[in-house]
Every structure is written in structure tokens, then in C-alpha cells.
């Protein structure tokens, strides 16, 4: 039977079955689309894509010398594991060797820390820099380069820092410099602080990290990058500490650059020779004319000449300065060199004790009357000392509240009592330097020394607050002495380790070490660079 002869009922049923199959296919397809969409939404909300996106790539390239003596960039197999360089006898060319891709949360760790440190360090004048912290960094132009945004600026800093940290980690690995107990102690201390802050905010650690570093951050990434930073810092410090110098090397550097290390004692009076601005009838400021400026400077010279004559006749510079409202007296002790009219005269090799003069500093609209005392290098010994800082607890009352003074007095008394108890505890135990160091690590509030046994080495006069300084440099002080010192920071349980290098040697050593460390650091980090990748859009 042909289709034309088909029963109408049969034909209708066939058509219905055909439409049903079409509907099943259509709705099945729609169902699949909905499932795919749901999966995509889940994946996006879970930040899996963002977490694993590459935000930056780190590269390494080194300088090689061709046969003709020229230098060119070349990848390094020792640093990167492989080399893609090609070379010829006439010279060499090389492509950068890729070290690693860096994910969004890894980049966010450095980016956020750099940004937050910048905000803290510049908090008082952040608005003057043209940065609005409430707005997207990508929408704000960087002031000194309109082609860049603030995001670009912080990303540049991020790429540089990451390159250096990864370079130092690679060098440490090459030298077999491994994770040690001191690094673990610092890591544990940082994590304890982080966990405390998270608990105070009533958040899990992961949620707390995401609040700071963005939704892609996880504890595992945070810990891994913090360990890289700690290792790089400890490795660098270890290299710096390993740099030592002989007495002959110190004397050679001192003789070559005496102005950098000598100090002078002197007395001087600075007489201001600047002309004052005036105000017109409408209250507007009127700058002084050239004639008025010249007259003011001439008056300062006359005053200086007159003062100098009186000084030569036996009068005191401090008394003479008090009689002139344009004059400022300075009793200079251990003054260091800087390029200026006054210091150039004081550090002149021809200077003799008792020399005096009138000095013109016309660029700064001033005249000086100066008397030279002596020039010398500081031979006194620096000291090594350990301490345990006990700070008073924070009170519940605010300044001005009833009972505030009494509460503060009690908190100070409690801190002093704790310091005394710690000292008594130490004396009742082994009473050694090592046992004191252990107590410092367990109890001190001084973040600068509570992971190294409370130790400060090569302390120089005037470095510490007055009462701390005076205890250290008491002429009767000897190794093993202990005591309790009160400062504005709290109560310090003190342990005198002993004397160290003369201060002039400390300064010379510091210069040599800084120069040599900088050269080493530059060589270790040279050739390491970072480039931004597409995933950087999820950073910040």
C-alpha cells in the first residue's frame, strides 16, 4: 500500500511519533545545555578557573661572551634546566628560558603584600600621590607615567620581587642551603599570628586569607610562598653574615675614605639671611625682591662678622646666638660628614683644633660662625646584649576616663613584676646565656629580637633609647651582668653579653659588607625576569 493509500489515523499517529522524537531530541539537548551551564556556573563560582590561571611567567637569561668579545643574552641550562640558545663564532643570540608559570593566587600573595606595605608606608600623604584606595587600581593613571595605571605600577613591583625571590631560592637549592630550625620557627610564628587574627575576625583561616588576598587564595599557596620568602631572606642573611674582613682590609678602606668614617666635634652658629615675604593691602603674599634678598643676606654677613669678633674676644657662641633672633646655636658632637659648606670646612684635612671662621652659604641664604674642636674615628667598643621586653597589657579605659591613671599604673606594675619574676626564674635555673635566650624567645614582645634569643649585636652609643643605652655603656658593665631597665616600651630584662668591635670598624665593615652583598645579590638575581600573563586580570 502506498503512502497515498495510508489510513488517515495511521498517518496521524506516525506524524505524532515523529514530533515526539523531535521533542525528545530538543528537550534532551536543552537538558544537556542546562547541565553544562550549571557546571560552568559551579566551576566559575568555585574559582577553579581563576585559581589555576597563569597570571605571570618567570624567565631566565644570562650574559654570554661571543668569540669577538661582545656580550649577548643567553639562556642558562644550569639555572633553568634546559637551554634554547643558539650561538655562532661571530656572536650569539638566545631566547629567554622559561622557568615557571605562576598562578593567580601566587601572584596575588606578592601583589597584595607590596600594595599593603605601600599604603602603610605612605598613609599620611597617599592622596597627594594621586591614589584613591577606594577605586579600581586599573582605572587610575600612575602620576609619573600616564601610559601606566597604578595596577601596572604594583604589578611591575610584583614581577620584580617574585623574580628575585625565585632566583634566591634557586641559588639556595644549587648550594644545598636547606630549610632549617630558625626558618621553621619564623614560619610557625607567622602562622600563629595569622591564625590568631583569623580567630579574632571569627573566620576560618582560608576565609581570612581570601579576605586579604582575594577569593583565589588558599592556605597551601600562602604557606608555600611565605616559605619561599623566608628561605630567600634567611639565605641572603646567611651570605651577608659570612662576609668577614681582616684588620688590614678595614684599615685600607678607612684610609681610602676617611670622611665616611671620621666624626668631628664643633660649635657653630647659623645666621639666617633669607628675606621675609610681606603682605599687600588685600592680604596677598608678596615675595621679596632681589634687592630685599641681597639686603637680608648682607645683614646676616654683618651679624656674623660682628659675632665672630666677639667670639675671638672670648665670648661664648651659645650666648651670642641667644642675643640674635636670626641665629641658631649647635653644639656638634660626633658630627658625620655630608656635602655642605659647614661640613666641607670642618672635614678639610688642613683643619686644626681651635680653628674658627665665618662661612658664607649664599645658596641657602645663611652665614656660619664656626669653631672646630677635633676630628677623630670612634674607637670605643660596641656591645652585644640580650633583652626580654615585657610590655604592659592594654587597659580597658581610655585616656581621660575616671580611673585611667590608676589602671595604667597597675598595668605597669604588673609588667614590672613579670620582668622581675622572669629574672628570678632565670637566676634559679641554669643562669646561662643560652637559658636567657630561651626565655627571651618564649616571653619577649620585641619583634626585632624574640626569635634570636633577644640578641642585639654591635650596639653603638645612641642607637637605643636613653635608659637602655646608659645601662649598656655603663663603664662598670661586665659579661654576664643582668638587670631590669624601664623605657617607654615597657620593662627590659637585660643580659650583657660583652664588648664587640670598635665602632669605627663596625662602620667600615658595614660598608664593605653592603658593597660585597650588593654585588653578590646582583649576580644571583641577574637575568631573572617576569612577564604578565592573561590571568593577571584576576589579580587585585
What residues does each domain of the chain span?
3-46, 55-242, 264-376, 381-501
Nearest to 376 by CA among 264, 513, 528: 264
- What does the alpha-carbon distance between residue 439 and residue 454 come to, in Å, rounded to a whole number? 9
Please check the confidence at residue 6 and state whether its pLDDT lies above 70: no
pLDDT, tens only, 398-410: 999 999 999 999 9
Residue 30 C-alpha cell reads as 536543552
Taking CA atoms, 38 is separated from 33, 34, 50, 68, 456, in Å, by 8, 6, 17, 63, 60
The predicted pLDDT at position 540 comes to: 87
The predicted pLDDT at position 50 comes to: 81
Q: Which residue has the higher pLDDT, 45 or 298?
A: 298
User: What would the CATH number be for the domain defined by 264-376?
Assistant: 3.10.50
The predicted pLDDT at position 249 comes to: 98
The residue-averaged pLDDT of 41-60 equals 75
pTM equals 0.77
Establish whether domains 264-376 and 381-501 are of one fold: yes
User: What would the CATH number be for the domain defined by 381-501?
Assistant: 3.10.50.40
Question: Where would I find the H helices in 429-497?
Answer: 433-443, 466-472
- What does the alpha-carbon distance between residue 336 and residue 347 come to, in Å, rounded to a whole number? 9
- What does the alpha-carbon distance between residue 420 and residue 314 come to, in Å, rounded to a whole number? 53
- Give phi and psi for 430, each to the nearest 5: -70, -25
**Element at 22 (helix H, strand E):** helix 8-45
Quote the mean pLDDT of the chain: 89
Pairing of strands 145-149, 366-376: unpaired
pLDDT band per the 50, 70, 90 thresholds, residue 283: confident
pLDDT, tens only, 164-220: 999 999 999 999 999 999 899 889 989 999 999 999 999 999 999 999 999 999 999
**Element at 488 (helix H, strand E):** none
Q: How many residues does the chain have?
A: 540
pLDDT, tens only, 227-255: 999 999 999 999 999 999 999 999 999 99
Q: Which residue has the higher pLDDT, 20 or 273?
A: 273
Instruction: Judge whether 151 and 111 are in contact, CB under 8 Å.
Output: no
Instruction: Judge whether 205 and 195 are in contact, CB under 8 Å.
Output: yes
Instruction: Judge whether 159 and 532 are in contact, CB under 8 Å.
Output: yes
The residue-averaged pLDDT of 336-349 equals 97
User: Per mean pLDDT, which range of 26-30, 210-214, 481-485 is the poorest?
Assistant: 26-30
Amino acid at each position: 500500500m502506498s503512502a497515498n493509500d495510508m489510513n488517515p489515523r495511521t498517518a496521524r499517529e506516525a506524524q505524532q511519533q515523529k514530533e515526539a522524537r523531535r521533542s525528545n531530541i530538543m528537550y534532551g539537548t536543552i537538558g544537556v545545555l542546562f547541565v553544562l551551564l550549571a557546571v560552568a556556573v559551579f566551576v566559575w563560582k568555585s574559582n577553579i578557573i581563576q585559581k589555576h590561571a597563569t597570571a605571570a611567567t618567570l624567565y631566565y637569561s644570562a650574559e654570554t661572551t661571543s668569540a669577538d668579545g661582545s656580550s649577548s643574552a643567553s639562556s642558562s641550562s644550569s639555572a633553568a634546566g634546559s637551554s634554547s640558545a643558539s650561538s655562532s663564532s661571530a656572536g650569539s643570540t638566545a631566547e629567554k628560558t622559561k622557568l615557571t608559570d605562576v598562578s593567580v593566587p601566587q601572584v596575588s600573595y606578592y601583589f597584595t603584600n607590596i600594595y599593603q606595605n605601600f599604603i602603610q608606608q605612605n598613609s599620611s600623604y597617599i592622596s597627594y600621590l594621586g591614589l584613591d584606595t577606594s577605586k579600581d587600581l586599573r582605572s587610575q593613571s600612575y602620576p609619573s607615567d600616564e601610559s601606566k595605571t597604578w595596577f601596572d605600577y604594583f604589578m611591575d613591583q610584583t614581577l620584580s620581587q617574585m623574580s628575585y625571590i625565585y632566583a634566591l631560592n634557586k641559588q639556595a637549592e644549587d648550594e644545598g642551603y636547606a630549610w632549617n630550625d630558625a626558618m621553621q620557627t619564623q614560619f610557625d610564628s607567622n602562622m600563629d599570628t595569622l591564625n590568631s587574627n583569623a580567630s579574632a575576625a571569627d573566620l576560618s583561616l582560608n576565609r581570612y586569607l581570601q579576605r586579604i588576598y582575594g577569593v583565589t587564595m588558599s592556605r597551601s599557596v600562602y604557606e608555600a610562598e611565605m616559605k619561599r620568602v623566608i628561605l630567600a631572606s634567611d639565605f641572603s642573611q646567611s651570605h651577608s653574615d659570612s662576609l668577614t674582613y681582616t684588620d688590614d682590609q678595614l684599615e685600607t678602606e678607612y684610609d681610602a675614605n676617611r670622611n665616611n668614617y671620621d666624626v668631628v666635634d664643633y660649635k657653630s652658629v647659623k645666621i639666617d639671611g633669607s628675606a621675609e615675604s610681606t603682605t599687600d593691602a588685600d592680604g596677598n603674599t608678596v615675595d621679596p625682591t632681589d634687592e630685599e634678598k641681597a639686603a637680608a643676606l648682607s645683614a646676616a654677613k654683618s651679624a656674623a662678622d660682628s659675632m665672630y669678633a666677639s667670639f675671638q674676644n672670648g665670648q661664648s657662641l651659645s650666648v651670642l646666638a641667644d642675643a640674635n633672633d636670626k641665629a641658631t646655636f649647635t653644639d656638634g658632637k660626633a658630627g658625620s660628614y655630608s656635602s655642605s659648606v659647614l661640613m666641607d670646612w670642618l672635614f678639610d684635612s688642613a683643619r686644626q683644633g681651635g680653628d674658627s671662621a665665618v662661612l658664607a652659604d649664599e645658596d641657602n641664604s645663611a652665614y656660619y660662625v664656626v669653631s672646630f674642636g677635633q676630628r677623630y674615628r670612634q674607637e670605643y667598643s660596641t656591645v652585644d646584649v640580650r633583652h626580654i621586653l615585657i610590655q604592659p597589657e592594654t587597659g580597658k579605659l581610655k585616656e581621660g576616663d575616671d580611673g585611667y591613671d590608676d589602671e595604667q599604673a597597675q598595668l605597669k606594675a604588673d609588667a614590672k613584676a613579670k620582668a622581675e619574676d622572669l629574672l628570678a626564674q632565670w637566676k634559679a635555673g641554669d643562669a646561662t646565656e643560652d637559658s636567657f635566650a630561651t626565655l627571651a624567645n618564649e616571653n619577649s614582645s620585641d619583634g626585632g629580637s624574640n626569635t634570636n634569643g633577644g640578641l642585639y649585636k654591635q650596639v653603638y652609643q645612641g642607637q637605643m633609647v636613653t635608659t637602655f643605652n646608659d645601662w649598656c655603656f655603663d663603664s662598670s658593665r661586665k659579661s654576664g651582668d643582668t638587670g631590669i631597665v624601664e623605657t617607654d616600651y615597657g620593662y627590659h630584662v637585660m643580659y650583657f653579653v660583652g664588648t664587640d668591635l670598635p665602632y669605627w670598624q663596625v662602620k667600615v665593615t658595614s660598608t664593605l659588607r653592603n658593597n660585597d652583598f650588593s654585588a653578590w645579590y646582583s649576580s644571583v638575581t641577574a637575568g631573572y625576569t617576569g612577564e604578565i600573563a592573561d590571568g593577571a586580570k584576576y589579580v587585585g
